[in-house]
Structure 1
Amino acid sequence: MRSISARTTTVLAASALLPLLVAGCGPEGGSSERDAASGALQVVTSTNVYGDIVEAVGGEHVEVTAIVDSLSQDPHSYEATVQDKLAVSKADLLVENGGGYDPFLHTLADSVEMDHEYVLSAVDIAGLDAGEEPHAEDTHAEEGPHAEDTHAEDTHAEEEPHAEDTHAEEEPHAEDEHAHGSFNEHVWYNLAAMAELAGAIGDKLGALDPDNADTYEANAAGFAEELAAIEERAAALAPEAAGKAVAATEPVPAYLLETVGLEDVTPADYTEAIEEDADVPVAALNEMQELVKNGSVAFLAYNEQTEGPQTQAVRSSAESASVPVVNFTETLPDGADYLSWMSTNVDNIAEALKS
Structure 2
Amino acid sequence: MMIRRLGLGAAFALAGHLAMAQPLLHAVGLENQYANVLEQIGGPYVKVTAIQSNPNTDPHEFEVTPSVAAAFHGADLVVENGLGYDSWADKMVAGTNAKVLSAQKLLGLPDSTPNPHLWYRTDTMPAVAAAAAAFFEAKDPAHKAAYEANLQAFDASLTPWKQEIAKVKASFAGAPVAVTEPVADYLLHEAGLKIMTPFSFELSVMNDTDPSPQDVAKEEALLKDRKVKLFAYNVQVTDPQTQALLALAKKHDVRVVPVYELMPASAKNYQDWMLQATVALDQALTAAGAK
TM-score if structure 2 supplies the norm length? 0.86
Match of 1:126 among 107, 122, 127: 107
Identity of aligned residues (%): 34
Post-superposition Cα deviations, 1:264-306, rounded to whole Å, max 9, x if no partner, equal 1111332232122012333321210111221221100110011
Q: Which has the larger radius of gyration?
A: 2
Q: Which residue of 2 aligns with 1:223?
A: 154
Give 1:1-355 correspondences, 5 Å limit: 38-110=22-94, 112-115=95-98, 118-127=99-108, 129-130=109-110, 177=112, 182-336=113-267, 337-354=269-286, 355=288
Q: CA RMSD in A?
A: 1.8
Give the Cα–Cα distance (whole angstroms) in 1 for the partners of residues 61 and 158 of structure 2: 29
- The question of whether the paired residues in 2 share the 8 Å contact of 1:47 and 1:75 is answered with no
- The question of whether the paired residues in 1 share the 8 Å contact of 2:82 and 2:102 is answered with yes
Give the Cα–Cα distance (whole angstroms) in 1 for the partners of residues 51 and 191 of structure 2: 31
Give the Cα–Cα distance (whole angstroms) in 2 for the partners of residues 109 and 50 of structure 1: 16
Post-superposition Cα deviations, 1:131-166, rounded to whole Å, max 9, x if no partner, equal xxxxxxxxxxxxxxxxxxxxxxxxxxxxxxxxxxxx
Cα distance 1:208–1:76, how it changes in 2: closer, same or farther (>3 A)?
A: farther
Describe the SS at the equivalent of 2:29: strand
- The question of whether the paired residues in 2 share the 8 Å contact of 1:43 and 1:65 is answered with yes
Describe the SS at the equivalent of 1:43: strand
Give the Cα–Cα distance (whole angstroms) in 2 for the partners of residues 303 and 230 of structure 1: 20
Measure how far apart 1:207 and its partner are.
Answer: 1.1
- The question of whether the paired residues in 2 share the 8 Å contact of 1:199 and 1:221 is answered with no
Q: What is the total number of aligned residue pairs between the two structures?
A: 267
Unpaired segments ≥5 residues, structure 1: 1-34, 131-169, 171-176
Describe the SS at the equivalent of 2:79: strand
- The question of whether the paired residues in 2 share the 8 Å contact of 1:301 and 1:328 is answered with yes
TM-score if structure 1 supplies the norm length? 0.71
Describe the SS at the equivalent of 2:177: strand
| Aligned-partner residue type, residue 323 of structure 1 | V
Unpaired segments ≥5 residues, structure 2: 1-18
- The question of whether the paired residues in 2 share the 8 Å contact of 1:75 and 1:101 is answered with no
- The question of whether the paired residues in 1 share the 8 Å contact of 2:119 and 2:125 is answered with yes
Describe the SS at the equivalent of 2:209: coil
